[in-house]
Amino acid sequence: MIRLEDTTGSAVSNAIAAERHRMGSPATGMVMTLLIIADEANQTDATMAAAMAAREHPMRILVLIPRLSRDAARLDAEIMVGGDDGPGEVAKLRMHGELAHHIGSVAIPLLLPDTPIVAWWPSEAPKVPSEDEIGAHAQRRIIDSTASARQTVALKNSIKGYAPGDTDLAWTKTTSWRTLLAATLDQPHADIIGAEVSVPTSHASGLMLAAWLGQRLGVPASVINSKGPSITNVRLIMTDGEINLSRRDGSTAHLLRRGMPPATVALPRRSIADLLAEELRRLDPDEVFGEALRNVPNVTKGKLKLGARTKPGKKAAPAAEGAKAESKKSGAKAESKKSEAKSKPGKKK
């Protein structure tokens, strides 16, 4: 590790190049630049997750750590190239004093030329990431609503500030659930009339999964409070029964469906490194995420009240048809009375 105190951006860039040259690999071979905007409390975990993701996506990782204080403006850096931290380059940049308000001026000169830029906020994120001084330079912007102190508020901000290229690790955490549910629905099934997701109160991933189910299936969707961890159950209500996918222990799921034997499938909770690596596999806008995000306000809370279920193929008679039927009955009674009158013999004078 190389430590630089009270340094400059150009000195950091030169130090990275010199370390690469010392290791015998002056050609970087990096496929992107990942900008991590973090604080001291979460920068270590975020850096470790990014370094693990770099084994799949070699990249330059710039960890930007603003240190708001009244001290003089100063930049301190820690640089790691290759080794145990993966094949990428890692630079932790701590900005003190006034420099903490201008992190873009430090990061932009260190961006790799002609490569995509991804910005990640592992904890609290700006309300409009695409308008942030870092997010404005990124093709993809990753936030994590589940890491926010107020997950519902974070989701509402995402809805208002959404722009193509935004994504949320709360959404990525539902990938395994969505894949398993989609595979289950590939089999013949009755009409689905509702979807319920059991999850701890105001959990962003549960809201996203319910919104996706409601949007894709075109049915009412709700979230039901559970003790967790994370999503514990998904119930798809059909006209002839239900599909129930439950995960109580955070690792193994049980699938119950009418007419099919119970199935046990692996559905473990994934690490942040896995989630980050998945998001870095695609750098184009995630349109499905955008559609699901816009449907979050339509998700209700508590058990669905769907009323009486109608069997497939049978429809209630419209009011107009009922009126016609009554008219026919009345006409038939009138004709019957006329016939009776004609059949009776008349009185003789």
d(CA 46, CA 203): 21
Same domain, 67 and 204: no
Amino acid identity at 55: R
Residue 35, CA atoms < 13 Å, CB-side half-sphere: 27
Token code pair at residue 122: 């592992």
| 96 contacts 67 by C-beta, under 8 angstroms | yes
Query: Is residue 277 situated within a structural domain?
Result: yes
Query: Is residue 163 situated within a structural domain?
Result: yes
Domain enclosing residue 221, as ranges: 175-301
Same domain, 179 and 220: yes
Same domain, 146 and 207: no
Angle, to 10 degrees, between the axis of helix 43-53 and the axis of helix 272-280?
50
Q: Which residue has the higher pLDDT, 148 or 349?
A: 148
Give the domain CATH number at 121. Answer: 3.40.50
b/e burial code for range 97-121 (CB count within 10 A of at least 16 → b): bebbeebbebbeebbbeeeebbbbb
d(CA 341, CA 337): 6
Query: Is residue 182 situated within a structural domain?
Result: yes
Last residue of a domain, one of 301, 328, 344: 301
The β-bridge relationship of strands 233-238 and 192-199 is antiparallel
Query: Is residue 231 situated within a structural domain?
Result: yes
Angle, to 10 degrees, between the axis of helix 287-295 and the axis of helix 151-161?
120
Token code pair at residue 102: 């201008």
> Among residues 184, 62, 166, 169, which one has the least CA distance to residue 123?
169
Same domain, 37 and 118: yes
Q: Which residue has the higher pLDDT, 316 or 52?
A: 52
Same domain, 297 and 154: no
Give percent of the chain with pLDDT exceeding 70: 85
d(CA 38, CA 207): 25
Same domain, 144 and 258: no
d(CA 118, CA 134): 9
What average pLDDT does range 162-177 have in this prediction? Answer: 96
Token code pair at residue 243: 């599909």
> Is residue 84 pLDDT above 90, yes or no?
no
Same domain, 192 and 210: yes
Same domain, 83 and 201: no
> Is residue 295 pLDDT above 50, yes or no?
yes
Question: pLDDT at position 314, please?
Answer: 37
Q: Which residue has the higher pLDDT, 311 or 214?
A: 214
What are 241-284's pLDDT values in tens digits?
A: 999 999 988 889 999 998 888 999 999 999 999 999 999 998 99
Query: Is residue 102 situated within a structural domain?
Result: yes
d(CA 92, CA 73): 17
Mean confidence (pLDDT) of the chain: 86
Same domain, 15 and 161: yes
Residue with tokens 């989630």: 275
Same domain, 82 and 196: no
Question: pLDDT at position 236, please?
Answer: 96
Token code pair at residue 302: 């508590």
Last residue of a domain, one of 169, 185, 209: 169
d(CA 158, CA 126): 9
**Number of domains present in the structure of the chain:** 2
Same domain, 209 and 98: no
> Is residue 119 pLDDT above 60, yes or no?
yes
What are 313-342's pLDDT values in tens digits?
A: 333 333 333 333 444 444 444 444 444 444
Query: Is residue 50 situated within a structural domain?
Result: yes
Query: Is residue 296 situated within a structural domain?
Result: yes
Same domain, 15 and 143: yes
Assess whether the previous peptide bond of 312 is cis (omega < 30° from 0).
no
Last residue of a domain, one of 104, 138, 169: 169
Strand partners of residue 75: 95
Amino acid identity at 327: S
| 50 contacts 36 by C-beta, under 8 angstroms | yes
Query: Is residue 311 situated within a structural domain?
Result: no
Question: pLDDT at position 116, please?
Answer: 95
